[in-house]
Amino acid sequence: MFSNLNHHIDTLAIHAGQSLEQEHGSVTTPIYQTSTFAFHDANEGAELFSGKRKGYIYSRMGNPTTRALEDKITVLEGGHRALATASGMAAITTVYTAFLNQGDHIVSTDAVYGPSRVVMEKDFSRFGVQYSYLDTSNLDNIRKAYRPNTKMIYIETPANPTIAITDIKGAADIAHGIGALLVVDNTFMSPMLQRPFEHGADVVIHSMTKFLNGHTDVVAGIIIFKNQELFDIAKLVLWRLGGTIDPHQAWLVLRGVKTLPLRMAKSQENATALAEFLEQHAKVSWVKYPGLKSHPQHELSKKQQDGPGALISFGVKGGYQGGKMLMDNVKLAILAVSLGGIETLIQHPASMTHASVPAVERSATGITDDLVRLSVGCEHVQDLIADLDQALGKILV
């Protein structure tokens, strides 16, 4: 396996976790599209099940294609081991199940990815897990939310869709001071732009559906751990629950990650230009983008990120109706949920992803009626600017 960690992350994105296939010399990791693996004899089978021998038994419990992907992302994030999952939510629910018990308390970002919060409020609460959702970009809020039974601080930074940024090191110091785990959802940044383990995280999560895969054709997730102990706990939970990734999906993400540095660089370049354009537009009230000096955590973003990323939130004049009008008039940007693809996606949370949340509750977490989220892709930036300009021009205020 290629494992020279001294290489630049651009090189590691292509080579880490992979090696030439031995029998035929395949440059690309083969797809081991099999449910089960044969043993040479009974003794080998017994040793594999007992853990005395390393190898593969059943694809729910591990697969060579999946392992190559897990090793690649582990190297990019600077972690110890990883578990690839069938979706981002499979990763999140595995972490919740593995590290939270009945009566435990979790502190989390209020504007976190919606299903991450809903599954806690609707499902894990039924089993006695307590929760506090708050603005984690203010570390004092985390400190005040502490309870003797707080076992996990779960942050998403930047937050979805408000682009609020949480100080990872500050959150880690608080978590470790109270004996809790710090879990960081790093989906928005990818390891190209942010590596939470460098700032004290214990567990890092990604929806690989987004930037890691980058082509809007896979649903997948991954959990990376800082040590073997945490990995071993979560591994058994994932095996029992069965939320493991299919080998073919793993192979598609392996392919996607190889172009991650190129895609992130182009998307970020485009996003910077678009944010600057939007900040000056007459139909735009405000812009939240870490690369702008107007972002409340601009200096923090420069400290813990290697770039501002490719996600922009902005407010359109005309509020709720203005947001819908913009959605109905874009021609190049695709009106769709999700993010991190090579194409630009746009959505209006108040009328789409968060429409079922009462307006007062949305507003309290920063998801206002005028908020539009833009996931910037790799198109030519002037085409994107022209598209947004003509669509914004249709808003009547």
How far CA 330 is from CA of 72, 260, 386, 395, in Å, comes to 37, 26, 10, 12
Would you kindly state where each structural domain of the chain is located, as residue ranges?
A: 9-257, 261-392
Give yes or no for residue 40 having a pLDDT over 60.
Answer: yes
SS3 2: coil
Rounded to whole angstroms, the Cα distance separating 95 from 137 reads 22
| CATH code of the region 9-257 | 3.40.640.10
* Residue whose tokens read 């009974």: 42
| DSSP string for residues in 30-83 | P----SB---SSHHHHHHHHHTSS---SBGGG--HHHHHHHHHHHHHHT-SEEE
Rounded to whole angstroms, the Cα distance separating 292 from 295 reads 6
Give yes or no for residue 121 having a pLDDT over 90.
Answer: yes
CB 209 within 8 A of CB 218: yes
CA neighbor of 263 nearest in space, from 221, 301, 211: 211
For residue 130, the cross-strand partners are 105
Give yes or no for residue 211 having a pLDDT over 80.
Answer: yes
What does the pLDDT read at residue 26? 85
CB 95 within 8 A of CB 82: no
Residues classed as catalytic: 60, 113, 185, 210
Query: What percentage of residues in the chain have a pLDDT greater than 90?
Result: 88
Q: Cis omega (within 30 of 0) on the bond before 64?
A: no
Q: What is the pLDDT of residues 293-346, one digit of tens each?
A: 999 999 999 999 999 999 999 999 999 999 999 999 999 999 999 999 999 999
Higher local confidence (pLDDT), 215 or 6: 215
pLDDT band at 352 (very low <50, low <70, confident <90, very high): confident
Q: Does domain 261-392 have CATH number 3.40.50.2300?
A: no
The reply to whether 261-392 shares the fold of 9-257 is no
How far CA 62 is from CA of 38, 85, 175, 208, 224, in Å, comes to 14, 11, 31, 18, 15
What does the pLDDT read at residue 397? 80
Question: What are the residues whose beta carbons fall under 8 Å from the beta carbon of 340, sequence distance 6 or more?
Answer: 187, 190, 209, 210, 211, 212, 213, 214, 310, 375
Which pTM value belongs to this model? 0.95
Amino acid at 54: K
